[in-house]
Amino acid sequence: MSRLESLLGYTFADRALLQQALTHRSAAGRHNERLEFLGDAVLGYVIAEQLFTSRNADAEDALTLMRASLVRRETLAEIALQLDLGSCLKLGSGERSSGGHKRASILADALEAILGAVHVDGGIEAARQVIYRLFGERMSKLNVEDVKDPKTRLQEHLQGANLALPVYNIVETTGSAHERVFRVSCTIPELALEVTGEGTSRRAAEKIAADIMLKRIADIE
């Protein structure tokens, strides 16, 4: 616990919160799903706030893509591995024997739960400082052109699962001629899934819709 707190740069007043954040639902006792719910929201807010403050020249579409790349499961799992969260997790026997301590989804969820626990224990400023510590270098080096297009990631995912490519359609166009807002649907008929995204161009809206679809797929896998 002390080593993890040192890596986080935060010492818990109530260590039971940290223990709960590290407890998967497969284990006995209070698990981390509620803290994960809070941590997800806190992380999204703090990352959005920092990008808004530090990226004055970037448009909304670019900020949305950069935020998505920072809060996606793969990024969270990478940070969790750096913290060696796997060795700290409390798992049920089934998850433990099947390698749950290495599973990206479990690691990512645990990291979000820890952020939620920090917020409960110390408030938004404490959570903000921990997030800056864990994500700061990534945020400072992030370039929207380096963020892999969500449409490409979705296409690769579906092809890997031998599924047909998604279908994009414009649902609605609003705003003046110089301030258009496009609402685009992304549909995967074989999975009976449909989501929508909004952007200042059709392409931007399609990217955002694809990113939302990737999250939806991750939730059901």
Catalytic residue of the set 36, 40, 61, 109: 40
If one counts every other C-beta atom within 10 angstroms of the C-beta of residue 138, the result is: 15
Catalytic residue of the set 36, 61, 109, 112: 112
| Dist. CA 141–CA 118, nearest whole Å | 25
Q: Tokens representing 136?
A: 């700061």
In contact, 123 and 49? CB cutoff 8 Å: no
Q: Does the active-site annotation cover 5?
A: no
| Dist. CA 179–CA 140, nearest whole Å | 29
C-alpha angle 32/34/35, rounded to 5°? 65
Q: Does the active-site annotation cover 95?
A: no
Find the farthest-apart pair of alpha carbons in the chain and give their distance in angstroms, rounded: 59
Place of tokens 């990008």: 51
Residues 72/78/84/90 CA torsion (nearest 10 deg): 30
Strand partners, 43: none
| Dist. CA 62–CA 114, nearest whole Å | 28
Q: Could you give the residue numbers annotated as active site? A: 40, 112
